[in-house]
Amino acid sequence: MYPDRVLSGMRPTGAMHLGHFHGVLKNWIKIQHEHECLFMVADWHALTTHYDRPQEIEAHVWDMVIDWLAAGVDPNQATLFIQSRVPEHAELHLLLSMMTPLGWLERVPTYKEQQEKIIDKDLSTYGFLGYPLLQAADILIYRANRVPVGEDQVPHIEFTREIARRFNHLYGREPGFDEKALQAVKKLGAKKAKLYLELRNRYTEQGDDEALEAARALLGESQNLSVVDRERVFGYLEGSGKMILVEPQAMLTEASRLLGLDGQKMSKSYNNTIALREDEASVTRKIRTMPTDPARVRRTDPGEPNRCPVYSFHQIYSDDATRDWVQQGCRSAGIGCLECKQPVVDRVLEELRPIRERAQAYLDDPTLVRNVIADGCERARKLAADTLRDVRESIGLSYS
Ligand code: TRP
Ligand code: SF4
């Protein structure tokens, strides 16, 4: 039904905060209605950097999933699962590792950066070097063609594409490719299928490039093929047929970035967050005590919103009229900072109220969340097993 398949994942960092909500979750909640979506808890990825403290991971997993659900990720629309419960990822990771050049891993920018940045633990491990390959396996095992990620993850998606290309190049044709492609062609409908086959003949037998173009255009406007079938039909047309794994595209979100309380990136390690389940008194106090433009020492000093962390909240939460009121009031010292913060307090509390209530329902009955995940893992495993079967066969590992 949906031609696109989306996969995304997050490492289990525990309870989510407003930065996650505006930067990631709101986007997931939107696209779950537009595409087939799989959302994964990347717990093995957490182990690559927290292998010395694995005890924390479990609680973080459940806290994170509760917040996904409370924020509005809908298990009837999307598949929610935990990476380590789908061991097929590990087998694909292993098989891909055989053909992954070390240099490709060493050149992934996050590798050196993280190693230099994280000094409190030893990251010269096999698992840490393999982080992007594990991520590639996460994506490729579902033949996901779209991966919503932040800017920092783009090199990992690029790396995944290269791995897919290398795999397809090495292991060539899907077993039974011609029959599968012809089955897929039938799904175009009788008329289009006939035209496609005619054009394909003209191209393959007479080298007619116009026929190739026409066939491509024909496929371009056919919406009723799955991703896999579409690739088969394209591959059959050009005689390549090399498409066991699908090359994914990064889906960059123009994330409305909410900064932290102090104006830096919102992050637990900076201690500048508002958690989705934080109680009202604490949220109110945190916003009321937020730093403002340092130039506004006294109430009578004019300020500059662009130098004030509170204004970055107004940019997310306030309408034009309120923002005008802030700009004028701040620059003319017409309003006080507490006055300026009140609409933000109101909006944030309003936004968090239903989220906190939904989270409470999941906290009261933990089996709800366990069931959502059990279900999602089962669905994910089926999809993963299909790809893995083709991968094993194409390498020649399906002994019978
Ligand atoms: N590396 C990602 C991050 O740190 C998390 C992740 C793991 C992921 N596997 C993935 C993201 C697959 C997208 C697709 O944010
Ligand atoms: Fe910041 Fe508002 Fe105070 Fe201006 S009036 S410094 S924008 S809190």
Reported as a single tens digit per residue, the pLDDT across 308-324 is: 999 999 999 999 999 99
Burial environment of residue 50 by CB neighbours within 10 A (0 to 12, 13 to 18, 19 or more): middle
Give the Å distance between the CA of 11 and the centre of ligand 1. 7
Could you tell me which of 161, 141, 66 has the C-alpha nearest to residue 368? 66
Question: What percent of the chain clears pLDDT 90, i.e. is strictly above it?
Answer: 77
The finding on whether 311 has its CB within 6 A of some atom of ligand 2 is yes
Q: Which residue has tokens 């009229």?
A: 321
Query: What value does the mean pLDDT take over residues 64-72?
Result: 98
Q: At what angle do helices 337-364 and 320-331 cross, to 10 degrees?
A: 140
Backbone dihedral angles phi then psi of residue 17, each to the nearest 5 degrees: -120, 180
In this predicted model, what pLDDT tens digit does every residue of 204-253 receive, in sequence order? Answer: 777 788 999 999 999 888 878 888 888 888 888 876 655 789 999 999 97
Q: Residues, the chain, total?
A: 400
Mean pLDDT of the chain: 93
Query: What value does the mean pLDDT take over residues 80-95?
Result: 98
Nearest ligand to the CA of 322 is: 2
Q: Where in the chain is the domain with CATH 1.10.240.10?
A: 277-364
Q: So what CATH class is 5-172+253-257+366-395?
A: alpha beta
Query: What value does the mean pLDDT take over residues 265-286?
Result: 96
Q: Is the pLDDT score of 64 beyond 50?
A: yes
9 Cα distance to chain centroid: 5
366 Cα distance to chain centroid: 25
Burial 215-237 (b: 16+ CB within 10 A, else e): beebbeebeebbbbbbbbbbbbb
Give the Å distance between the CA of 124 and the centre of ligand 1. 20
Which residues are CB-contacts of 90 (< 8 A; sequence separation ≥ 6)?
Answer: 44, 137
Q: Which option is the CATH number for 277-364: 1.10.240.10, 3.90.1150.10, 1.10.10.60, 3.40.50.300?
A: 1.10.240.10
Burial 112-135 (b: 16+ CB within 10 A, else e): eeeeeeeeeeebeeeebbbbbbbb
- The whole-angstrom separation of Cα 262 and Cα 290 is 7
Burial environment of residue 301 by CB neighbours within 10 A (0 to 12, 13 to 18, 19 or more): exposed
pLDDT at 92: 98
Give the Å distance between the CA of 399 and the centre of ligand 1. 33
- The whole-angstrom separation of Cα 338 and Cα 160 is 49
Side chain identity at 115, as an amino acid letter?
Q
Which residues are CB-contacts of 315 (< 8 A; sequence separation ≥ 6)?
Answer: 323
Atom of ligand 2 nearest to the CA of 341: 8
- The whole-angstrom separation of Cα 201 and Cα 212 is 9
Q: What is the DSSP letter of 21?
A: I
pLDDT at 203: 85
What's the pLDDT band for 10 if we cut at 50, 70, 90?
very high
Could you tell me which of 102, 98, 108, 240 has the C-alpha nearest to residue 167? 98
Which residues are CB-contacts of 89 (< 8 A; sequence separation ≥ 6)?
Answer: 44, 83, 134, 137, 138, 141, 384
Q: Where in the chain is the domain with CATH 3.40.50.620?
A: 5-172+253-257+366-395
- The whole-angstrom separation of Cα 240 and Cα 69 is 43
What's the pLDDT band for 144 if we cut at 50, 70, 90?
very high
Side chain identity at 282, as an amino acid letter?
S
In this predicted model, what pLDDT tens digit does every residue of 324-378 receive, in sequence order? Answer: 999 999 999 999 999 999 999 999 999 999 999 999 999 999 999 999 999 999 9
Beta bridge partners of 6: 37, 146
Question: What percent of the chain clears pLDDT 70, i.e. is strictly above it?
Answer: 97
Q: Is the pLDDT score of 2 beyond 60?
A: no
The pTM assigned to this predicted structure is 0.85
pLDDT at 250: 96
* Token pair recorded at residue 165: 């290309």
pLDDT at 255: 65
Atom of ligand 2 nearest to the CA of 331: 4
Q: Is the pLDDT score of 166 beyond 60?
A: yes
Phi-psi region of 269 (alpha: psi -120 to 50; beta: other; left: phi over 0): alpha
The finding on whether 43 has its CB within 6 A of some atom of ligand 1 is no
Nearest ligand to the CA of 328 is: 2
> Which of 141-155, 160-174, 238-252 comes out lowest in average pLDDT?
238-252
110 Cα distance to chain centroid: 17
* Token pair recorded at residue 280: 């009202």
The finding on whether 218 has its CB within 6 A of some atom of ligand 2 is no
pLDDT at 223: 79
